Amino acid sequence: MKRLEGRIALISGTARGQGRAAALRFAAEGALVVGGDLLHEEAVETQRPIAREGGTALAPGPLDVTDEASVGSWVAEAVDAFGGIDIVYANAGAVRFGGIGSQPYEDFAFTMRAEPDSVWPTVRAAWPHLAHSRGCVLTVGSTAGLTGSLTNLRTARSAAKGGVIAPGRQLAAEGAPYGIHGSARSHA
């Protein structure tokens, strides 16, 4: 028996990078993967190796995780296709780096919106389904949300990833009565 046999996993940002890697890995462990990305064609491309290996993956429509309507359709497609949601892996994110003395406010504001908003609408839309399945939420932090750096100029990213890490603790508290559990990954 594979570790995620039959689990329905919603993973954002599956066009490339860690989201693509997660989609392949979750499918190899038996999960039914519902991916999605702004880069829709690349997200669909991620399905091919999964299908070749006999796994199951969908990437319905272009997904913008910062747009509630887009996320609502994505979650509905997952539930229509598989009957529920067991795992939400809110992986997608976007960032503009820059130092406090030089970064334009527009770039700061973009990052401040993109990172937390990549998590909240997705988790919110999936929450009733996770409560039903006693499911799991995975969010992706960063050392930027935990430490300062001498070499990586990242004030906006630090603030934004702090805005991902802190609500993770609150989600754990609010999810506990429903059996929803979670994990916040933080890495370089």
Ligand X SMILES: NC(=O)c1ccc[n+]([C@@H]2O[C@H](COP(=O)([O-])OP(=O)(O)OC[C@H]3O[C@@H](n4cnc5c(N)ncnc54)[C@H](O)[C@@H]3O)[C@@H](O)[C@H]2O)c1
Site for ligand X, rule CB under 6 A = 12-13, 15-19, 37-39, 63-66, 91-94, 118, 140, 142, 187-188
Q: How far apart are CA 182 and CA 162, in angstroms?
A: 17
Residue 118 or 158: which CB sits closer to ligand X? Answer: 118
Q: How far apart are CA 37 and CA 42, in angstroms?
A: 8
Q: How far apart are CA 156 and CA 161, in angstroms?
A: 8
Residues 129, 79: contact at Cβ < 8 Å? yes
Residue 9 or 63: which CB sits closer to ligand X? Answer: 63
Q: How far apart are CA 38 and CA 102, in angstroms?
A: 29
Nearest in space to 19 (alpha carbons), one of 54, 65, 55: 65
Residue 116 or 175: which CB sits closer to ligand X? Answer: 116
Min dist. Cβ of residue 20 to ligand X (A): 7
Min dist. Cβ of residue 72 to ligand X (A): 14
Cβ-proximal residue to ligand X, closest one: 17
- Name the burial class of residue 31, with classes exposed (0-12), middle (13-18) and buried (19+) by CB atoms within 10 angstroms of its CB: buried
Residue 63 or 133: which CB sits closer to ligand X? Answer: 63
Min dist. Cβ of residue 66 to ligand X (A): 5
Min dist. Cβ of residue 160 to ligand X (A): 9
